[in-house]
Amino acid sequence: MAIEAIAVDIDGTITDDKRKICISAIEALRKAEDAGIPTIIVTGNVVNYAYAAEVLIGCSGGLVAENGGVVFKEGENNNAVETMVERDFVTSAENHLKEKLGEKFDKHASHDNMYRLTETVFYKTIPREELEDALKDFEYLDQLEIYDSGFALHITDKRVNKGTSLRYLCERNGINMENVMAIGDSQNDEDFLREVGYKIAVGNADDKLKEISTYTCENLFGDGVAEAIEKFALQ
Residues assigned a catalytic role: 9
Is 82 exposed, middle or buried (CB count within 10 Å of its CB: 0-12, 13-18, 19+)?
A: middle
Bridge partners of residue 202, in order along the sequence: none
Number of residues in the chain: 235
Angle at the Cα of 82 from the Cα atoms of 77 and 87, rounded to 5 degrees: 155
Separation between Cα atoms, residue 94 and residue 6, nearest integer Å: 34
Strands, sheet with 144-148, edge to edge from the N-terminal-most edge strand? 120-123, 152-157, 144-148
- Helix, strand, or coil here: 226? helix
Separation between Cα atoms, residue 171 and residue 11, nearest integer Å: 25
Torsion of CA 43, 176, 194, 165, to 10 degrees: 40
Separation between Cα atoms, residue 97 and residue 211, nearest integer Å: 34
